[in-house]
Amino acid sequence: MAVEIGKKVATFTIEGTGGSFSLTDAAGKWLVLYFYPKDSTPGCTTEGENFRDLCSEFEAAGALILGVSRDSIKSHNNFKSKLNLNFELLSDPDEVLCNQFDVMKMKNMYGKQVRGVERSTFVIDGKGVLRQEWRGVKVPGHAQEVLNYIQEQ
């Protein structure tokens, strides 16, 4: 069952660079879950850097940032280290979280149809309710837009 704005998000537990993460770990905080296609690719690198650069402002607003892709923990650890990311990355190789948030889409890559992650961001409140979503995200200015949304709440 896909998520819906205004509804409670079904609990989940997933492995990440900081160990196992459960939705309940974010209780009482805003949670920013941003799904991206692949570690160490140009758009995903820029998006990670943008969230990194605003991380202290997100924290000041009571928000936790987590990046999610289908990459392995090893790949995530390398990506996190290379970019000096100050937040954790969640590994979803079996697409459990990707399917819960309905971010798997058919995309064109070099003229071929491939199934991949549609760049998307979700904001969940401290009670586990989905409050905002952005799908088909364009990277420039996006992290700031998400921060502005949280700061206005």
Residues 19-31 have a mean pLDDT of: 96
- The pTM assigned to this predicted structure is 0.95
Residue for token pair 């799904």:
35
User: Per-residue confidence at 67, pLDDT binned at 50, 70, 90?
Assistant: very high
Q: Looking at 3, 23, 26, 44, which residue is catalytic?
A: 44
Q: What is the CATH number of the domain that holds 89?
A: 3.40.30.10
Residues 34-43 have a mean pLDDT of: 95
Q: In which domain, by residue range, is 120 found?
A: 13-152
For the stretch 120-139, pLDDT in tens is 999 999 999 999 999 999 99
Q: By the 8 A CB rule, do 3 and 9 touch?
A: yes
Residues 48-75 have a mean pLDDT of: 97
Residues 29-53 have a mean pLDDT of: 96
Q: Report the domain count for the chain.
A: 1
| pLDDT value of position 109 | 73
Q: Does the annotation mark 44 as catalytic?
A: yes
- Three-state secondary structure along the chain? CCCCCCCECCCCEEEECCEEEEHHHHCCCEEEEEECCCCCCHHHHHHHHHHHHHHHHHHHCCEEEEEEECCCHHHHHHHHHHHCCCCEEEECCCCHHHHHCCCEEEEEECCEEEEEECCEEEEECCCCEEEEEEECCCCCCHHHHHHHHHHHC
| pLDDT value of position 12 | 95
| pLDDT value of position 1 | 60
User: Has residue 1 been placed in a domain?
Assistant: no
What is the rounded distance in angstroms from the CA atom of residue 93 to the CA atom of residue 68? 10
Assess whether pLDDT exceeds 90 at residue 108: no
